[in-house]
């Protein structure tokens, strides 16, 4: 029987926090993409949570509602664009509450990853947070069609990621068994960097990876 080393414990929290403290996240200069276009600031959350009916740690991946105007029916991490005057942290925690009914505060933020410029016009700042809540999540049906719990043990599989060559830079995708289908960048790239930095201690950049055409809209 294989033992899951990624249990939702204070030891794991300390380990991930240390890895993130040793990592210097790269912001986008003036929030411009690789072509100089000004991007809209947004923040997403990688919420390290206890898997339902288990002691294993997982992260939440949502399938966006078909009712949404942008990126309907696509996989995403909880998050969205910043409201006027908001910080990345404030926006990320607000979106987590609005989408999943999960109320966490700044003391649970462990660190950030590199900003990711999207083809659809956003500069995404990923925040890693520790979910110590004992409450069940309550997905907002207006925004979330489904929630997947991806065990951290799946993310360290050496075959997790696929790199599809293009005329420019590769498209990074992942296919976690718990999801059962392919997840593309930008979400895949952000999750992959979380795995590299927070779980494996590798300072692996991902902002250069391309996104499939459907993600541009």
Q: Distance from first CA to last CA of the chain, Å, rounded?
A: 44
Give the CA-trace dihedral at 103, 109, 115, 119, to 10 degrees. Answer: -20
76 is a domain residue: yes
What is the domain-level CATH number for residue 32? 3.90.79.10
195 is a domain residue: no
Residue ranges making up the domain that contains 53: 10-156
Domain count, the chain: 1
164 is a domain residue: no
213 is a domain residue: no
Per residue of the chain (217 residues), give pLDDT as tens.
456 889 999 999 999 999 999 999 999 876 555 556 789 999 999 999 999 989 999 999 998 775 655 555 689 999 999 999 999 999 999 999 999 999 999 999 999 999 999 988 999 999 999 999 989 999 999 889 899 999 999 999 999 999 998 878 899 999 999 999 999 999 999 999 999 999 999 999 999 999 877 655 5
190 is a domain residue: no
Gap between the Cα atoms of 33 and 13, Å rounded: 33
Distances (CA, A) of 173 to 79, 146, 163, 184, 190: 20, 20, 7, 4, 10
Tokens encoding 149: 């719990």
């Amino acid at each position: 029987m294989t033992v899951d080393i990624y249990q939702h414990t204070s030891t794991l929290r300390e380990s991930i926090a240390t890895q993130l403290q040793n990592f210097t996240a790269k912001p986008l200069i003036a929030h411009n993409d690789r072509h100089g276009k000004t991007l809209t600031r947004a923040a997403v959350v990688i919420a390290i949570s206890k898997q339902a009916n288990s002691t294993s740690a997982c992260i939440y991946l949502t399938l966006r509602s078909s009712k949404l105007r942008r990126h309907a029916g696509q996989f995403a991490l909880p998050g969205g664009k910043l409201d006027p005057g908001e910080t990345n942290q404030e926006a990320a925690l607000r979106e987590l509450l609005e989408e999943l009914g999960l109320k966490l505060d700044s003391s649970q933020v462990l660190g950030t990853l590199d900003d990711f410029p999207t083809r659809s016009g956003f500069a995404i700042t990923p925040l890693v947070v520790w979910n110590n809540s004992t409450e069940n999540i309550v997905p907002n049906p207006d925004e979330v069609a489904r929630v997947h719990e991806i065990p951290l043990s799946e993310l360290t599989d050496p075959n997790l990621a696929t790199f599809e060559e293009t005329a420019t830079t590769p498209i990074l995708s992942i296919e976690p068994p718990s999801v059962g289908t392919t997840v593309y960048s930008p979400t895949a790239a952000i999750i992959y960097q979380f795995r590299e930095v927070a779980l494996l201690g590798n300072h692996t950049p991902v902002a250069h990876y391309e996104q499939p055409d459907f993600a541009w809209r």
